Each structure stands twice: as structure tokens, then as C-alpha cells.
Structure 1
Amino acid sequence: MKKVLFTGGGSAGHVTVNLALMPLFLDEGWSVDYIGSAQGIERELVGSLDAVKYFPISTGKLRRYFDIQNVKDPFKIAKGVYQAYRLIRTRKPQVVFSKGGFVSVPVVIGAWLNKVPVIIHESDITPGLANRISIPMAAAVCTTFPETGGQIGKDKTHYVGAVIRQELQQGDADRGRKFCGFHASKPVLLIMGGSLGARKINEAVRAALPVLSKTFQVVHLCGKGQLDPDLSVPGYKQYEYINEELPDVLAMADMVISRAGSNSIFEFLSLQKPMLLIPLTKQQSRGDQILNARSFETAGYCRVLAEEELNDASLVQEVTGVYDKREEFIAHMLDNKHSDALSAVFRLIKEKARPSSNPAWK
């Protein structure tokens, strides 16, 4: 049986592309394994696929700043490399696909040591630290933005565009309203702060609810541990995270407030959802979300609100601005030509896969 191994985690953005690809391999009869962290969100998300075997390994965070954990984490990463090496040696995949995140680095190293080809997917304009470490060991790198190839080297870069989960196109607005207890006579505002949540966005949304709720029904995905059990406002629903019902919730949404992770914003683009993007600051990240958001703003898909300028008043003002011009945003998004990135990546992984008689296993 042909075998493929997936890795990636730490946030939902490092898992969604894997979730789109794995069913395609299962449908063709491949054996599918996943290596992730013991406690990360990837374990929760991948756990919904019964046919996928999940293997947790030790992992550490690669930080750009001083932290006492920087002393301990290299040992965790080294342990993770050994665990990944042994797992790959035992499971014998023909190919490894990595979506990035810190847990992917030990897996890529383990695959490289076992002479198993690795395909990497980079969502953002600029590669993240984990992918920058991994790219020299990869057989190919799939990119979402064409300009990323200039930073990686065109010899192994494959510009494919954005990978969109097929199930998102199958959402039903009526099911979404039933799930949230909403009605069809009032527009819906969806807030997504990322799988880990966004405390400052949550605070601004809750402070602005008295005004926002006059115009919108509000569904708020606020992140793990960030529910406010004392908050009760008619037409306001809060959840830590939504998985199976997300296509329906997106189908009913009239506009979205979101961070600017590449996977998410391209999914909103494919569904023609007007966006207000609040990217992570340079103090919180390497600045990739700022680049993503400005690219979308230039294309006419969204408006951007810097987190440094975020408060309840600015949030209301920007939401009103997006909603009032929603038809203009939708018109620009309809002009976007979607590529079949999912099929392109699927084909590339299969092309790079080693035969089952890989001499590395002998």
C-alpha cells in the first residue's frame, strides 16, 4: 500500500491544507499518517479523520526573542527528531508533506535522514522560520504567492496559488442560522481571531457589541479559554472554535473580521466575503500578516485596521465602512481567477513520492 505522512501544527493555519489533501489520498487507497505535537490543535483537528493514524512527538518553539525556555527547547527538538526518525523508519512513507509550524522541523529532518522526499507548503509571502529551516531539505516547495519564489529559489519552487478546502464551498446559510439561533432578516458579522484567539480583538468586539448588535447578529470565534460566560447579548453567539459547522457559519456570514493568515483570507476570498483584516503586529510576528493584508487591500478585497489603532470606536467605524461598500468588495473578489491549487499540490506530492521499494528501507 502506498503511504504518505503529513505534518504541521501549532495553529489551525498549519493544518487546514493538510485537512484538504488527506481525504484525496484516502480516496485513492493510500495509507495516511500524521505526526504532530501531543497537545497542539492539530491533534484535535486531525482526530476527526478516523482513517488517519496520529503520532505525537516532542517539540519546542523556535523563538526570535530571549526566553528561559530557549535553553530547554533544543533538547525537546532533538528528542522530536529522534522520535520522528524512528517513526518514519517504522511507518515507511513514500513521501512527507509539511505545512509548517514548529512541530514540522523534527519531522522534515527525520524524513531527510531517512532519504524520504519532503514537499513543503508555504502560505505567506515570506517563509516562516520553521519553513526556512526546512526548505534546504525539501524536494519541492509549493507557494501561495508568486513573489515567494524569489526568496526561496526557483529551482524547487512551484507556484500553485491558494489551497481551499472543498467542504467550505458546501456550506448552507440556513443550517448556519439554525446552529447559531439566528434569523434571516438581519445581517451576520463573523469574527475569527485565529484558532488560538486574539485577546485584543475579543476585547474590542465585546466593548463594541452595544453598537454592533443594533445592525448585526454577531458570531464570535474567540479562541480556546477566551469565552466570556457572563456576557449575554441578544443576537450574539460566542464559541472557542468551530470545526464541522464552519462551512455553514461562513455561508450565512455577510462580512468577516479576521486576522490576516494566508489560508483564512484566501478562503474568505473564494467565498466572496467582505473582510476587515486586523493583522498581527511586527512585535507579535515577523510581519507576514501585514504583507498579506496589504496585498488584499490593494486588490480591493478588504480594509485593514492596524491593531495599534484598534478600539471599540475604530472597530465600529471600519466595520460600517466595509459593510456599506460590501458590493464593491464582492465585485473585486468575483474578478479573481481561482486556480485549482488543491489538485496541483495533490499531483506534485504523488509525482515526488518514492516507490515502495525505496532503498532507504533496506
Structure 2
Amino acid sequence: MDIEDDPDYDIFRDDEDDPDAQASRESDSTKEYVVYLVDASPKMFNTTCPSSQQEEENNEKEAESHFQIALSSISHSLKAQIINKSYDQVAICFFNTKEKKNLQDLNGVYVFNVADRDYLDRPTARLIKEFDNLEESFSKNIGSQHVMPGTRENPLYNAIWVAQALLRKGSAKMVDKRILLFTNEDDPFGHVRGAIKSDMTRTTLQRAKDTQDLGVTIELLPLSCPNEMFDVSKFYADLVGLEGDDIVNFMASVGNKLEDMKDQLRKRMFTKRRVNKFKFTLVDGVSIELNSYALIRPTVPGTITWLDSITNRPLKVMNVLTLTYKQSIFYVTA
């Protein structure tokens, strides 16, 4: 059995400090491809929910809309990935939009991106900067819309299809693929009735199942206020595969305060750090390798690093000292 037993071995070191981990990072099975799927219907903009702090201050601060909460949570996650030097790749997709932007040219779906970046790619400083300013221009450049009653237009179906296509690259055996769905609408087909509703429900659930059969996990992040509980049993229980007690447990978790959303998302995106590697040799040419991970790690203050908005590489800072002597100016760099 081979084991890393160096007395100077730091069990809390980062993977990037480990030469073995660095060499195999690209093929690490913990690498993730994530599509953030955000409902952009008018209800997401019109529904607000104050935080507990705001309630204590008698609503002196303006309450956040569900759309703002979703964007803030995603932005927080993207920044954490850059800080952690994550090799995960992400895409940001909105549905129930007026404008459309996706490879399939499907209505009601808009994939947000910036120049010099693939739809599904590592987050960049430029992506985060423009994403943080997206809310101001969203209504003008992308737009939000209701699905008209009686129509067969199905933005949710289209969105899952687009997300599935974005996650085609990479093997599901080597990469964890996930769709994180933000919405406050527990009955996406409540505007239609009869056979049309049954058909739209069936086709959407089938699209979700086809996506999951390809190794993609669909996770629901519902948004609800205390006076409007999100009822997962209306539709999404079938979409994400909840049954029996799972529905009850999920419904109980929905009642958590919305300010916990960022923390929940941060925990889901947290990258495990390897502590030790064990290699058991059974017979010649046959061995088993096990990795152990640190579940609790110390937190140390981070350092401020200026990054290039496109390449994400650290910028070199040059200090210039100006000296004046007898009307002559000297520049000294350090």
C-alpha cells in the first residue's frame, strides 16, 4: 500500500499545490458542467420577498424580486469559482423571454454570454462584470413575457432542450453535468386546460427524462414567499423525480428563508479538497486507488488580485515614483 506519509504534508493544502492533482485536474471526475436555467417570466420580476433583516427594520430597505435573488445567487457562485480557480464550466440561460438566442433558434430562450467565450465555458471576469449589470438592461435587450393562454408555445420545454444541447460536450462518466432551475411558478402550464395542458406536461416531462438519461441531473431551486408556498407536487415532483416522503421533505425545505439561497448554492458548488491518496495493490497489474477528502477546512483571508477581464490572468502592477530635483523629473519604477 502506498500512502502520502510525508511529515510535512499539509492535509488542508489546495489541490493546485499538489503536483499529482494538478497533472490530472482536467480528467478529475469532480469537474462539473453547470447550466443555470432562470425563469424570466413577469411573475419573477413582480414577486418580492424581504429578508429577515429587512423585516426587522420595518421594510426600510426595498425588497428584492425573485429575479434579483436568482441573479445575485448565480453571480455569487461565479465569483466563488474564479476565486477557487475552478475548472468547472458554466452557461447562463433564461426562458420565458421575448428575444431568443440559442443554437437551436427556439422561441422564448436566451443564452447569455460575452465575447471571446463559448456558451458553456469557464467563467471569466468579463462575464461576471456584464452579468452583474444585466438587470438594468434586461427588459430592453432581452425582455420578459407571459405565455399567452391557449397557445402551445412551451418555453420550459425549449429551455431544457437548449440546456441539454449545451451539456453535450464531455463524457458523463468523467464530468458531473447539472441543470440548476430557478423559478417561482409551481404550475408552468396553469394557463392552459384540457388536452393541450396534458400534452405539454407529457412532452416536457419526457424531455426532462431524456436529458436525465444522458447523465444530466436537474435540480430545482424554487422561490416562494411565506404567504405563497411553492407546491412542488403540481408539476416539478415528476420532473426532478420526487416520490413519497421525498416530496414531503422537499416541501419542508422550500419554507427556508430566501436569504439562504446563496449559501445553499455555494455549498452545492463547493469543491472538495483531497487530503490523502491510498493505493492498494491486489496482484501484479491490478490495483485500487482511494482518495480521502477534508470536509472541514480552515478559512484564511484572501488576497486581492487584479485579473484581466478576458483571460482571467493576474495583472502585473507597476508602481511609479516621481522625483523632482532642480526642475528635473525622474521616474523610478518598482
Q: TM-score scaled to structure 2, two decimals?
A: 0.29
Q: Report which structure shows greater RCO (CA 8 Å, sep ≥6).
A: 2
Q: Which has the larger radius of gyration?
A: 2
TM-score by length of 1: 0.28
Structure with more helix by fraction: 1
